[in-house]
């Protein structure tokens, strides 16, 4: 989760797509669209291992756009395949 947040803050679309599960991966993320958010913080609220290959991560990511503050509160689902965790999807809270 932290590595994906860092990738968002630095605009590393290739990494984000590579860590997104193929069953739900979009074609692109359009991270270069204006106005670009300025990411200012990540708080992981909960990590829940559901079984050997599935986990949930609840987080709040804070960002600003044109000086206005926003927060993204999401419960993300991850799956473990071939020793690597992949983001499946998330539900905003």
CA distance 58 to 43: 9
- What is the domain extent for residue 71? 2-26+37-92
Structural domain includes residue 31 = no
pLDDT digits (tens, 9 = 90+) for 16-75: 999 999 999 999 998 888 888 999 999 999 999 999 999 999 999 999 999 999 999 999
N-term to C-term CA, the chain: 17
Q: How many domains does the chain have?
A: 1
The CATH number for 61's domain is 3.10.450.50
Structural domain includes residue 32 = no
Structure pTM? 0.90
Structural domain includes residue 15 = yes
């Amino acid at each position: 989760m932290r590595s994906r947040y860092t990738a968002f803050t630095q605009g590393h679309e290739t990494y984000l797509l590579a860590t997104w599960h193929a069953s739900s991966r979009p074609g692109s993320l359009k991270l270069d669209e204006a106005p670009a958010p300025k990411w200012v913080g990540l708080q992981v609220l909960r990590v829940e291992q559901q079984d050997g290959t599935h986990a949930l991560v609840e987080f709040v990511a804070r960002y600003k756009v044109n000086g206005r503050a926003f927060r993204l509160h999401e419960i993300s689902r991850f799956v473990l395949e071939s020793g690597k965790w992949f983001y499946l999807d998330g539900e905003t809270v």
